[in-house]
Structure 1
Amino acid sequence: MPKKRILPYVLLGLINNKERLSGYQISQEFKNEVGDFWHASHSQIYPELARMKADGWVSDDESDNKSTYYIVTDQGSEILRNWMREPLDDNEELFSLKLYFIKDKSDPLLKDLITQELVLRKLKYQYLQERLKTVFTDDKKIKNNFGHYLILTRAIERERNHIQWLEDKL
């Protein structure tokens, strides 16, 4: 099954958060804001904006003759919200993106997203702990595969920290 394209939803979320953005401003958002957890190139952004405009998800804001500014249409707002409601998978970037697009701490989606991510992270944590027990059954195995041991224990620590952060935010 082909992987679902995420870029249109990211663009909708960025435009929605700022109310209107030019293509250049969107590129800057990827450099300065969402670039820590998501990347898109200039050559990906403009064709996607054209498709979104053709599909009625965004339209031009005619208030400035110098640049083309995009605004989210009612249809685009509905599509963005529906995407935000889709269940999370084990993709932390997707969680980060959806979380980034929540404007108001009273948005009911906030608690839902955090709760979903908490379930996923706890499952991952349990899986990693089981891998540690299975792969590293004695000190000799740790000694002979120390780099692997370090990576696995770091992954366990990262999941434990993520779980704590999510529980704190609930």
Structure 2
Amino acid sequence: MPKKRILPYVLLGLINNKKRLSGYQISQEFKHEVGDFWHASHSQIYPELARMKEDNWVTDEEEGKATYYTLTTTGHEVLRNWMREPLDGNEELFSLKLYFINDATDPLLKELLEQELKLKQDKYEYLQGRLRKVFTDKEEIKANFGHYLILTRAIEREKNHIEWLKNRL
């Protein structure tokens, strides 16, 4: 099954957050804001905006040399429906969806945090089990020290993420 394209939803979220953006401003958002956890180039952005216009997700308005994009009612619905889709363990997807929540009282915030917490707890338990299974004694640790370090780092990362999530619920 082909992987679902995420870029259209990122573009919808960015436009929604600012109400109206030009293609250049969208590129700058990727450079300075969402670029910390998601990347897209000009060559990806503009064709996607054209598809989104064809699908009636956005409208565009020429203003001088710039074209500004705004969400249609359909675009708002598409974005919200995507935000409601269950998380799949992709931390970048969680970060994107979280980034697009503008109101601390939005019920979707709690849903996202709870979903991510469950995913992280499951992963933490899995990693703990791997540690017990693979590294049964000090000799195993000594013989595979790099693997041991990576695994314990992953466990610590999940533990920290779980604490962060619990503190937001």
> 1:101 aligned to 2:116?
no
How much has 1:57 moved relative to structure 2?
0.3
Q: How many residues get paired?
A: 169
> How far apart are residue 154 of structure 1 and its match?
0.4
2:52 maps to what in 1?
Answer: 52
Query: Secondary structure of 1:43's match?
Result: helix
Counterpart AA for 2:141: I
**Which residues of 2 match residues 144-163 of structure 1 at below 5 A?**
144-163=143-162
- Give the drift of 1:61: 3.1
Equivalent residue, structure 2, for 1:11:
11
Q: Which ranges in structure 1 are unaligned for 5 or more consecutive residues?
A: none
C-alpha distance after superposition, 1:69-106 (max 9, x if no partner): 10011100000000000000110000000000000000
Runs of 4+ in 1 over 4 A off after TM superposition: none
CA separation in 1, counterparts of 2:141 and 2:33? 40
Deviation of 1:66 after TM superposition, in Å, equals: 2.4
Instruction: Report the secondary structure of 2:66's partner residue.
Output: coil
Q: Distance in 2 between matches of 1:103 and 1:114?
A: 15
Consecutive unaligned residues in structure 2, runs of 5 or more: none
1:4-63 superposed Cα distances (whole Å, 9 cap, x missing partner): 10000000000000001111111111110011111111110000000000110000134x
Paired with 1:96 and 1:133, the residues of 2 have a C-alpha distance of 30
TM-score, with length taken from structure 2: 0.98
The code of the aligned residue for 1:86 comes to: E
Q: Tell me the equivalent position of 1:61.
A: 61
Query: What is the match of residue 72 of structure 2?
Result: 73
What amino acid sits opposite 1:18 in the alignment?
K
Contact 1:20 1:61 in 2 (8 A): no
Q: Which residue of structure 2 aligns with residue 26 of structure 1?
A: 26
Tell me the distance in 2 between the aligned counterparts of 1:21 and 1:131: 47
Deviation at 1:112, TM superposition (A): 0.3
